[in-house]
Amino acid sequence: MILNTGSRTDIPAFYSAWFYNRIREGYVLVRNPYYPLQVSRYLLKPELIDAMVFCSKNPAPMLDELALLSAFDTFWFVTITPYRRDIEPYVPPKEQVISAFQRLSAQVGRKRISWRYDPVFITKQYSVSWHAEQFRRMADTLSGYTGQCVVSFIDLYEKTKRNFPGVQSVTAGEKEALIDAFSRTAARTGLQIHLCCEDAGLVRSHVDASGCLSKEVLEQAIGCRLSVPRRKGIRSECDCLLGADIGAYNTCGHGCLYCYANYDRATVRRNMDMHDPSSPLLIGTVSEHDVIKQAEQVSWKDRQMSLFDL
């Protein structure tokens, strides 16, 4: 199984102490976001978890104790976008995030870390030409530390439209112009761009539409074949291996206007105030009314053959 930590919140940035406590104790509890009294229990054992997947705008708080994860295979997405504080008010300065990206790459290896440049949106301030130039500069800095980059365009969820008034979808022409520019930069810097839930018509040299965490990407990262069962994806157009998320919505403190996972800042503050690093739950504690069930956990690794045996 794949243990996902990053579709609902940013655990490395805000809850690294809690996560490492979970590793030490060997299990984690996760509330169902739609039926809160239903709680799943996951065992944090290397023989059950084929890879831990992290997605963060600031992995720095995780780095000093990363040795605690040495028994696990991990894969890291680090989002670095050039937006200013009007869009990402509480994200650390980009220079700091880039430095953390480089440190993380040195520890886990460049095949196990991917740069996310998303979501992309267009305004007068953040124009097509501006994005092309900023992407070029970041790619030049990061290309030696990763071989891949995930790109997607903004999705206008109801939460996003409420928190980001006036934001517009990126037009087909703008997408074409941006991907053309990104493709040229990727070819020069040796990056492979993975489009996330985007039209296959945007595929170019060094640009594919196979998803941000396809089976092939993860196999190359961990050096092992995976026998993944047929399953329904999170989104109909997404075939990535992103199940079993241990995070919680409305708990990310970055405050990005485009975020789909937060309802509003006040809700996030209330939830963060209920966080207890010693609790098996990310937010709050177990109550007598909770129904805790052991989650089904099965390894997908083909332990008879690694990629290096082929």
SS3 271: helix
Q: Residue 12: give the domain boundaries.
A: 2-309
Q: Which segments of the chain have a pLDDT < 70?
A: 231-239, 303-310
pLDDT of the residue at 232: 59
- What does the pLDDT read at residue 214? 84
How would DSSP label each residue in 81-100?
----TTTSTTSPPHHHHHHH
Instruction: Please state, in angstroms and rounded to a whole number, the distance separating the CA atoms of residues 120 and 141.
Output: 19
pLDDT given for residue 266 in this prediction: 95
d(C-alpha 70, C-alpha 147), whole Å: 22
- Cβ within 8 Å of residue 54, ≥6 positions away: 5, 6, 11, 12, 62, 74, 75, 76, 77
Ramachandran quadrant class, 89 (left: phi over 0; alpha: psi -120 to 50; beta: rest): alpha
Cα-trace Rg, the chain = 19
pTM listed for this prediction? 0.94
Domain count, the chain: 1
Structure tokens at 280: 């098996």
pLDDT score for 81: 97
How many angstroms separate the CA atoms of 282 and 40, rounded? Answer: 12
State residue 233's pLDDT score.
54
